[in-house]
């Protein structure tokens, strides 16, 4: 069995291990949410077993538990490596600029194609206190499970063999495809998910750690969820009211300004990622002197 597994191409093995980890984490949380909404929906009790599960999930991916023969490779693939304060600060700054540039890009996209809108009607019946804690827990699950699965177990091995561009592209396509379980997700949103994969994937590649992306992913989901619940606006939407497409009405000052602002923040994000790489490189050199 082990020899047959090793004969599989590395990319296939990385996709399978990352996909299984993502499925186990998200499916378990989904079952707990469904149970919570059927049993005592006024009490967000699902966050307690979910927290315990996340602890077990994280420890196992870190190399704890059986089988001991896979302990080291599990820890390596997770790459939840500790970072210095300087790297943390640079990584969070670069990631925030990257996310801002992505949202500005989606603002431009909103004027070029019709993007889907998430429905919030089904959430109205959920007690607010339960909905709030489910949002917080769901964001933590997304941050931990998706970064560990996609940027750790999946991207890491491909990246080490084929480089970051190939790894992030493959991971981004699968990351976007995984979101097709949500009814609002269509092919039109693939650029958004590829952008998300690039923002978090480059952080993981430069720092060799999923921790900065994990924090940004979870916090970003919290803000995105709050915005959706309060304004009905998805994170990839420019506004709650559809704007005319440039193919229908032509370009206008609003579209041109959006393009300029996106370019400015895109350049700033690239600079920030280069600065992060310089900080990491400097610390590596100092540690090897």
Convert the pLDDT of each residue in 208-252 to its tens digit.
999 999 999 999 999 998 888 887 777 766 566 677 889 988 889
pLDDT, residue 240, reads 61
> How far is residue 137's CA from residue 115's CA, in Å, rounded to a whole number?
27
Q: What percent of the chain has pLDDT over 70?
A: 97
Q: 183-201 burial, b for 16+ CB within 10 Å, e for fewer?
A: eebeeebbbbbbbbbbbbb
**251-261: per-residue pLDDT in tens?**
899 899 999 99
Report the length, in residues, of the chain.
Answer: 289
Report the pLDDT averaged over residues 151-172.
Answer: 97
pLDDT range class, residue 122, cuts 50, 70, 90: confident
> How far is residue 230's CA from residue 36's CA, in Å, rounded to a whole number?
23
pLDDT, residue 145, reads 97
Distance of CA 86 to the CA centre of its chain: 23
268: how many CB neighbours lie within 10 A of its CB? Answer: 15
pLDDT, residue 125, reads 85
pTM of the model: 0.94
Look at 118 and 208; give whichever has higher pLDDT. 208
pLDDT, residue 235, reads 75
Find out whether 106 and 261 touch, Cβ atoms under 8 Å.
Answer: no
Distance of CA 97 to the CA centre of its chain: 15
Angle between helices 211-231 and 128-141 (to 10 degrees): 150
pLDDT, residue 51, reads 97
Report the pLDDT averaged over residues 150-169.
Answer: 97
pLDDT, residue 159, reads 97
Look at 77 and 182; give whichever has higher pLDDT. 77
Find out whether 142 and 192 touch, Cβ atoms under 8 Å.
Answer: no
Report the pLDDT averaged over residues 45-52.
Answer: 97
Chain mean pLDDT for the chain:
92
Taking 80 as the threshold, does the pLDDT of residue 118 lie above it?
no
Report the pLDDT averaged over residues 177-184.
Answer: 83
Q: What percent of the chain has pLDDT over 90?
A: 75
pLDDT, residue 239, reads 62
Look at 1 and 208; give whichever has higher pLDDT. 208
Q: Phi first, then psi: what are they for 272, rounded to 5°? A: -65, -40
């Amino acid at each position: 069995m082990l020899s047959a597994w090793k004969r599989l191409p590395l990319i296939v093995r990385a996709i399978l291990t990352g996909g299984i980890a993502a499925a186990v984490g998200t499916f378990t949380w989904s079952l707990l949410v469904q149970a919570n909404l059927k049993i005592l929906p006024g009490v967000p009790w699902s966050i307690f077993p979910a927290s315990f599960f996340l602890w077990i999930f994280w420890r196992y991916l870190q190399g704890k538990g059986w089988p001991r023969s896979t302990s080291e490779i599990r820890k390596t693939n997770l790459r939840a490596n500790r970072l210095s304060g300087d790297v943390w600060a640079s990584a969070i700054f670069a990631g925030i600029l990257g996310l801002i540039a992505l949202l500005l890009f989606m603002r431009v996209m909103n004027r070029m194609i019709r993007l889907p809108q998430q429905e919030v009607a089904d959430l109205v019946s959920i007690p607010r206190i339960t909905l709030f804690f489910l949002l917080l827990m769901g964001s933590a699950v997304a941050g931990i499970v998706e970064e560990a699965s996609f940027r750790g177990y999946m991207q890491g091995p491909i990246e080490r063999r084929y480089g970051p561009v190939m790894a992030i592209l493959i991971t981004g396509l699968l990351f976007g495809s995984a979101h097709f379980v949500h009814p609002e997700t269509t092919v039109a949103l693939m650029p958004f998910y590829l952008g998300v994969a690039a923002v978090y994937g480059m952080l993981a590649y430069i720092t060799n750690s999923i921790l900065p992306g994990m924090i940004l992913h979870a916090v970003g989901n919290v803000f995105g969820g709050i915005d959706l619940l309060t304004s009905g606006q998805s994170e990839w939407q420019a506004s709650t009211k559809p704007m005319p497409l440039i193919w229908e009405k032509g370009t206008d000052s609003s579209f041109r300004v959006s393009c300029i602002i996106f370019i400015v923040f895109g350049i700033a994000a690239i600079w920030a990622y280069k600065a992060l790489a310089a900080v990491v490189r400097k610390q590596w050199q100092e540690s090897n002197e």
